[in-house]
Amino acid sequence: MKVLVAYESKYGATEGIAQRIGAALRGRGLEVEVAKCTDVAEVAGYDAYVVGSAVYEFNWRKEARKLVERNADEIAAHPVWLFSSGPLGTEKVDKEGKDVLKGAEPKQFKQYAELLHPRGTQVFRGAYDHDKVRGADRIIAWMPGIRDAMPQGDFREWDAIDAWATSIADTLAASASSP
């Protein structure tokens, strides 16, 4: 079974998650291609799709949205899973007591529910290194109070990422073995 793991990452944290998902799926015997959304020339020929993006202001990056919207019919004809990364820190709930990961879901999870009928969606924590910020983000990051408010570090939960990828592999294996 051939799986495309397509991602869009600005500073590399989401790419790391996509690579980890790809490695876990390969470890379960699947043929996997991991590629940046902008580098995917053709989506045909895969048996399943895992698509993810970094999230900014509750939206996937433009390139990930374009890939999905341009290829929705092909992607929706196969099993698909969606993921995003973004929340920083280790808090499980926010100041109002709401689940941080649930609250960080991108608008695309809801928008693509009818379009793609994903088998699953998942938000993963991201990573942030103030010294790697570039371009217009750097101007914002240096504003008084912003730099100190952004938790710095790698908050990706590798065990959760591995478990999610394993559940995808299990689902694909079960569907491949059913008549």
Kindly list the structural domains of the chain, giving each domain's residue range(s) and its CATH number in brackets, ordered by start: 2-174 (3.40.50.360)
pTM: 0.90
pLDDT at 87 (0 to 100): 87
Residues of the chain above pLDDT 70, percent: 87
Query: In the beta sheet, which residues pair with residue 35?
Result: 6
Please report the pLDDT score of residue 20 as a whole number: 98
CB 127 within 8 A of CB 150: no
67-122: pLDDT as tens digits: 999 999 999 999 999 999 988 889 999 889 999 999 999 999 999 999 999 999 99
CA distance 55 to 29: 30
Mean pLDDT value of segment 3-24: 96
Tens of pLDDT, residue by residue over 155-175, are 999 999 999 999 999 999 998
